[in-house]
Structure 1
């Protein structure tokens, strides 16, 4: 049965608005389009989108600062997850999940029932996210994530850059978020001539001066409501060149720099990888859970490899149970990451000669702590009668028993499995260093190791660092232990 998809397109006259809407219609193929134009602040736009009388199966909520550069319609038709947060490539922060949100209609209906909370700083700063979080909690649903080729916050007008980064400063007032923002500031220093980065720095500096750390939610909300005027006034004091009208050719050029393998012909509806640029080998991320497999998946996506992380479909479960490691998914994807393939690298190596294997690692004690947290709210059995949840639980139990030898967290057993997997993998590939890359993303390894290994040009953007909050805390707390672990030395 064909799913009905509605598109909610929110714009505040972004420079990208016209082209972003055109691309969205091409790539999503919605049944209906709802425009929310020039509604400020964002909390008001969120309330307006929740007043719409939807008649569909899924709603794609997106902002006009997103340029969708691949066909989402096929994924939308096969998707059944209640909520999918889309990873995009943000000019200022690398790969983040922001700007495009795929939401099942039952979650939208639940969001419509929720009254906006008062004196709630999280709602003030992220109203859509806050209401959705309440809805998912009420329904006992979880988020899912998917990476697409989407540019976010490229080609924005100067005053919009200022307003966005001022808001980013307000959202970064925790220790971890502050560290992430400071890392971004250092990255921007590599591009001293980029006007967007100069404006971003000015916005952050001014906002730090204008809004005290101890500001109340009401004071922050009032500042956000004034941001458009504040941004216009700040930009007016600068001598900036006039920005030309945005064209598909300009986006095409940027797209080729980011994803050089993709031929685009933007505006003409042809957005596919040319045959000669497709991967001639498969790529498998064979690190254990919580070793940076999501970050690796996102990085491979940036490099042009069409990857899937921990697939949860019925066909994959059946093939795993039958020992059929050719995987039907590999007819459509360049590779698979996480424990779906971690235990089967010898078979995959035989079935797909010339493939590349990437073993993600981290400090073992950090990893054990992360696994204990990971297992805490992920039981091996669930009484849910939702079909996709049943398949998810079957795969979870199968892979836990296959890879770890236990359904629940057991520190001694998992420490043994971690060391054994590391030693066995290195031993298997000991005479073929060209086939295996050992990658410690948490220790700062990334493009410099990955690009040469895969024969790709070096990437000049931050390496995607998903789940960075947990990993950053671990790195700060356990730096000495990382240096002492003999397995990783």
Structure 2
């Protein structure tokens, strides 16, 4: 009997913000045979990240090949992952521009927890389901420098998006082979991903998952 040895996958971290196609990327990574980290376990470590305590986040990162969203999409985490998991690869998922991302995030949250039209109020965000009461509110306040009466301030969110992306690009500026900047809406995005991961293409384009427009109130 001949046993085939499982090919070891490189560890890959998606460091793009939520609502940049991370769910679609996760699906493709699973199709490539990557084991995917438990997203809920990652979300539960948000308070660790807020205190810059990375020990449990590092422990979680040892459990699979691919991770995305909280807390891996938060500032600073990619620096720690790069240090503790050398030779890993990083993918920065992006939208066409900061305004598109801001509108997508705001509408997505409104459709999930509000009236589907207007930005969420403090009360709506406090009442949104999460791992503990008020969790969604705490995340917004810890990530964005916003006031309670304007939690989805467009200028603040656009600046956050641009700053995050610029910081990631600057960190990997002299290591272009370790970072892929990926806009999954581009016709060439899927092939770019395959080339970056040295994977054989199974199709030609991405399937866009978790679109805001697909959520029904």
Q: Into which bin does the TM-score normalised by the smaller protein fall?
A: 0.7 to 0.9
> Alignment RMSD, CA only?
2.9
Match in the other structure for 2:121: none
Match in the other structure for 1:357: 90
CA distance in 1, matches of 2:20, 2:107: 14
Structure-to-structure mapping, 1:238-253, within 5 angstroms: none
Q: Does 1:367 find its partner at 2:96?
A: no
Match in the other structure for 2:81: 348
1:284 partner SS:
strand
Structure-to-structure mapping, 1:121-160, within 5 angstroms: none
Match in the other structure for 2:21: 292
2:163 partner SS:
helix
Gaps of 5+ in 2: 114-123
Structure-to-structure mapping, 1:43-442, within 5 angstroms: 276-279=6-9, 281-308=10-37, 310-312=39-41, 316-317=45-46, 319-322=48-51, 323-324=53-54, 326-342=57-73, 343=75, 344-363=77-96, 364-376=98-110, 377-378=112-113, 379-382=124-127, 389-391=130-132, 393-394=134-135, 396-406=136-146, 408-442=151-185
Please identify the structure whose Cα radius of gyration is greater. Answer: 1
Compute the displacement of 1:339 (Å).
4.0
Match in the other structure for 2:119: none
CA distance in 1, matches of 2:11, 2:128: 37
CA distance in 1, matches of 2:170, 2:128: 41
**How many residues in Structure 1 have an aligned counterpart in Structure 2?**
193
Contact 2:187-2:205 at 8 Å conserved across structures:
no
Contact 2:42-2:60 at 8 Å conserved across structures:
no
CA distance in 2, matches of 1:461, 1:452: 12
Compute the displacement of 1:275 (Å).
5.6
CA distance in 1, matches of 2:178, 2:204: 25
Contact 1:286-1:360 at 8 Å conserved across structures:
yes
* Higher-strand-fraction structure: 1
TM-score (norm 1): 0.36
1:340 partner SS:
coil
TM-score (norm 2): 0.75
2:90 partner SS:
strand
